[in-house]
A and B are shown apart, each in its own frame.
Chain A
Amino acid sequence: MKKPLIFLKVTKDLFVVQLMWALGFLGVMLAIHTIKIVINYTQGHEVESYYHSIFVANHIFMLIIGIIVITFLPYCVELGVTRRDYYKGTFLATLGLSFVIPTLTTFVTKVEQLIFRYLAIPTKEMTINEIILDIDRDFIGDIVQSAIISPFVDPQTNPWLAIFVFSIHALIYYLVGWLISASFRHHMIVGLLSIAVSIILIRLEDLLFRVSLDLPLPSGPLTMDFLPSSVAGLGIVLIIGLLAWLIRQLTKNMAIKI
């Protein structure tokens, strides 16, 4: 008899739940964005795209739902689901969500661009990748920069690459949230350590993306401009793999306290 694939049930359930949250988030952001457009347009300013608004805010959204997802582990074990199936199901749901949010965002942005063109509304040029060159840089500044102004591809120039880059950012921020919450469930020291590891990995991912996409690089000891693009791309895959491996190690024997 064929065994039921329980992890696929977890995938479906978590994907649907998180998609509902994501639609709520995207909807609220769309409302805010529309109000901003109206204000900017009436004041004669250029307006920025929906993609631009979501790109930065989504990091925080993915981080938060990544933190929340650990609460599904006790729920799953109570239903007789193994930690392995919870992990596989959650990871697959995350992959789906990381792809769906950028895709929806790009689609809305495309529709928005058509409307802008039709109404002859001037749009703002996206210069997010150049901002790093103007910043007076220090360690804290680098961290904030990584969180806010991640390497960016304009969906107007290459929509598929834009979706891909956005998806990878979303995935990494989700995994970082999951890692941090799983670590704190073990011990506060492990949790604090995981925050430090996460900051380093996000910073590293930021630099590797800049190398692989041939975007402006900040000066300093960690520029990595000597790396070929393919190696930088492999580095990003390794970061995702490392995060996924760490989460599995933290959750595979996790105690459910009652």
Chain B
Amino acid sequence: MNVKAEQLSLTYGKHDALKQVDFELDSNKIYGLLGRNGAGKTSLLSIIASFLKPSSGKLTINGEVPFEHAEIMQQVALLYNKDYQDETDSIKDTLSNIERYRPQFDRNYADDLVKKFKLDVNKPINKLSKGMQAALNVTIGLATRAPITIFDEVYLGMDAPARELFYKALLKDQEEHPRMVILSTHLVSEMDYLFDDVLLIHEGNILLHEGYHSLIEKGVSITGDVAVVDSFVQGKTVLRTEQLGDTKSVMLYGGLDEDEEQLAISEGLQIGPVALQDLFIHLTEEEQR
């Protein structure tokens, strides 16, 4: 599957939710879509799933505009924190309904996940706890096996063991049935190992789209004597600075080449990695300044 956005914009009244966004997703990878509240994540995902029509620009899936395209819409599933307070159907009936509409839906796999999450199949969905409803959402998302599967913060109500169960199931199922998965999340530190690629969205713009490992390599922490650190980081992109007495720690973005690494070591500086969550926090902060 190929998802391509060209100059994609979405406007709500005077608010620009997406501002002429360009990007392309073209593999059966797990994409992490990161962004702060109101960054435009849900707007972007809603356009991919044909929930919304863009205000301008173009989004295509396999070269076709997905909005009202019957074949393409069948290939995309968007799961989100749905309000189930009026949903009186049982899990069993809900899964049967989905099975009728989703061509790749695997009912046996859905039943297996329902057992793993210990969901009561005969209970009306509105009587389930928020965590159970979230577990149902991830069950539907995984078992639908849509070639483009999108989870928009769907796991928020789940407790830690249930989330862990979901992460494992996702990785296993992705390996056995490769497809494009887009995970939108705030739980960056917990989920970063799932991502093959990362898209960072901020204030309606795509800040970066990069492979997880190459992005992580771009973040470097340099720690050492204040004067030496200051001299070393000159001309580099500094995301964060912390100082305690004569020791200074600086978070850099852009990575170090081999010569720079050797220089840092020879000057007694400590080089360390930076977690994706730290990069996320400081890259989006940087933009706000």
Contacts and interface: CB of A to CB of B under 8 A. Distances in A.
Interface of A: 3-4, 6, 9, 13, 77-85, 252-253, 255-258
Contact of A9 (B70, B101, B146, B152): B101
B101 A81 contact: yes
B90 interface: no
B23 interface: no
B98 A79 contact: yes
B110 interface: no
Contacts of A82: 50, 68-70, 73
B211 to A, nearest CB: 29
Interface string B75-101: 111101010000000000000011011
A253 B80 CA distance: 21
B51 A258 contact: yes
Contacts of A79: 97-98, 101-102
Interface of B: 42, 46, 50-53, 67-71, 73-78, 80, 82, 97-98, 100-103, 146, 152
Contacts of A4: 103
A258 B50 contact: no
Main secondary structure of the interface of B (DSSP, over half): mixed
A81 B73 CA distance: 7
A6 B101 contact: yes
B52 A83 contact: no
B68 A255 contact: no
Given A6-B70, A82-B73, A255 B101 contact: no
B42 to A, nearest CB: 6
Contacts of A257: 51
Contacts of B78: 78, 258
Main secondary structure of the interface of A (DSSP, over half): loop
Q: Which of B52, B76, B98 has the most CB of A within 10 A?
A: B52
Given A80-B73, A80-B76, A80-B77, A255 B97 contact: no
Nearest to A81: B101
B152 to A, nearest CB: 7
A254 B127 CA distance: 30
B152 A80 contact: no
Nearest to B101: A79
Nearest to B73: A80
Contacts of A83: 68
Nearest to B152: A258
A194 to B, nearest CB: 22
A255 B102 contact: no
Given A6-B70, A80-B101, A258 B46 contact: yes
Contacts of B100: 9, 13
B42 A258 contact: yes
11 contacts: A77-B73, A78-B78, A80-B146, A81-B70, A81-B73, A81-B101, A82-B68, A84-B70, A253-B67, A256-B52, A258-B80
Q: Which of B51, B101, B152 has the most CB of A within 10 A?
A: B101
B75 A255 contact: no
Task: Please give me the 7 A-B residue pairs with the lowest Cβ-Cβ distance, nearest first.
Answer: A256-B51, A79-B101, A80-B74, A80-B73, A258-B80, A82-B68, A255-B52
Contacts of A84: 68, 70
Contacts of B68: 82-84, 252
Contacts of B67: 253
A255 B52 CA distance: 5
Contacts of B97: 13, 79
Given A13-B100, A255-B53, 8 more contacts: A3-B71, A80-B75, A80-B77, A84-B70, A256-B51, A258-B80, A258-B82, A258-B152
B206 to A, nearest CB: 21
B33 to A, nearest CB: 15
Contacts of A258: 42, 46, 51, 78, 80, 82, 152
A12 B69 CA distance: 22
A4 B103 CA distance: 10
